[in-house]
Every structure is written in structure tokens, then in C-alpha cells.
Amino acid sequence: MTWLSDDVATYLQSVAARPDFSGTRYEVVGEIARGGMGIVYEAIDRELNRRVAIKVVPAGSRGEAQLIAGLEHPGIIPIHDAGSLADGRAFYVMKVVRGMTLRETPPKTIAEAVRICVRICEPVAFAHARGIVHRDLKPSNVMLGEFGEVLVMDWGVGVAGTPGYMPADETPGPAIDVFALGTILKEMIVATGERAPRRLRAIITKAVGSDRYASARELADDLVRFLDGQPVVAYPENALDVMLRWLDRNRALIAIVAAYLVMRVIVLLFAHR
């Protein structure tokens, strides 16, 4: 009897489990990822001689492909093709994106975390404007591409959501995604090890609170105002806050003026010696 090594046995099992794409233009070469809504494979499109990603989902799940096909946005992976396998399962073909998920590569600074969150908000806001709610936003569903792309993935139909990223009040509509976005932003900031400014903490509190932003667009707008040093909706300012924000926005100017004054003092001191 010939014994197979663990590596060989694992390889043979993966090959045997691959879906049968015979009769199609696609040749599966390996598995990329798997989740509750299906398995994603890397394949070769023989007709166009290019690499593609194919997601295989249970029978009757074609609605996911139709949903994504209607969301043409740079932050959403485009659908190239769709069809059905001999065993009844559905599949759809997408662009292959090289990179890592936000779970695998969190940001290193608060500014980077806020900018990434704005980029996540953009395709979600686009979907909200068309009456579509993601319902399962989380770091593992956000892809950071090799060339700076930020892509929101897994726009599944009938997704129940992931604990920790779903509001306890189970408010329907865009508010579900807003809560998840606020939670993702909070986690990114914690990962940086930096303390968030009060205005940013107020934005997160509003995003995950009961009186949260009405849509991802409103959240993104407040985050952009924060980045630009402008007043934010989530944080009512007093006079001291206004002054501190002005000082923060004009640090370069203040440094130049301070350096000029120091030089003037030095010149005056030498002039009177």
C-alpha cells in the first residue's frame, strides 16, 4: 500500500472539491477564500486569456450577482459574467483583486484610518442612494488592493450580519451599515495605538449610537470635515474648541511666525551689544 503525504492528500481533496466548469470558458486553478455565502476561486478565462475570480454560491442565489451588477462603482468589484453549474449551483465571475483585507492589514495612524473609512463609506453611500443595504460590513469584507484600491466585498442577499457589527436595536435600513462603519473605524483607531481627538470620538459615538447618521454619506461628510479641520456635526463646539481647532489647522503658520519672532529677538539682542 502506498501512503500519501498530508500535503498531497490535501491537494487531492481540494481538486476533488472544485466545481465542474467543463463546457465553460473558465478553468479553475485554486481557491481564494470561502465564507458563509459561497467559495471564491481563481480561474483562467480561456477566451480572453486573463485571470478572474469566480464565486460559487448555492442554487437560487443568483440575486447576489444581479445586485452587484447594478452597483457600478470603483469601490465595488465589477461582475463580468454569471451562470449555473451542472449541479445547480450558481456562479458569477469578477475581476481578480490582489491585496489584503482590512482585518489583515490595519492602518498605522489615525489619519490613515479616517481616510480608509471615508473610502469604505463611498461605495456604501452609493448603494444606500439606490436603496441597497450591505448588512454585513466588517474588516474581512474590505479589500485593500495593491495599488491603493479600497473595495467593499460580499454584497450577499439575505445576510444575517456578524455579531459585534450589528446594532442591538436592529434598526432596518442604512442605519445598520452606519453602525458597522462606526465600529470598523473605532477598531482601526484602537489598532493604531493613538488616542482619537474629541471630535473624532464624537463622530464614532454618533455612528454607533441610537441617534446615528441617516446614511453612510452623512458619516463620510463628517469625517471629511474632521480631516479638513472644519466643525463636525457630531460635536458642538465651544469657544475653546474653536481656538484649539484653529491652532491645530494653522500649526505651520504659527511655527513660521514663532521662528520669525525668535530671529527678530536674536537680531535685536546682537544689535544692542
**Residue 130: CATH number of its domain:** 1.10.510.10
17-48 pLDDT per residue, tens: 678 888 899 999 999 887 767 889 999 999 99
Same domain, 74 and 138: no
Domain finish residue from 30, 65, 95: 95
Model confidence at 89: pLDDT above 90: no
Same domain, 86 and 212: no
Q: Which of 2-6, 152-156, 179-183 bottoms out in mean pLDDT, i.e. has the lowest? A: 2-6
pLDDT band for position 57 (cuts 50, 70, 90): confident
Domain of 16, in residue numbers:
8-95
Q: Could you give the angle at which helices 216-227 and 175-192 cross, rounded to 10 degrees?
A: 30
Instruction: Please give the C-alpha separations between residue 178 and each of 103, 186, 206, 215, 253, in angstroms, as whole numbers.
Output: 18, 12, 10, 6, 37
Kindly name the residue from 20, 81, 87, 136 that is annotated as catalytic: 136
Same domain, 41 and 140: no
Same domain, 82 and 139: no
Q: Domain for residue 195, yes or no?
A: yes
Q: Domain for residue 244, yes or no?
A: no
Same domain, 15 and 106: no
- 177 annotated active-site: no
Question: The pTM is what?
Answer: 0.81
Q: Domain for residue 224, yes or no?
A: yes
Domain count, the chain: 2
194-233 pLDDT per residue, tens: 999 999 999 999 999 989 999 999 999 999 999 998 999 9
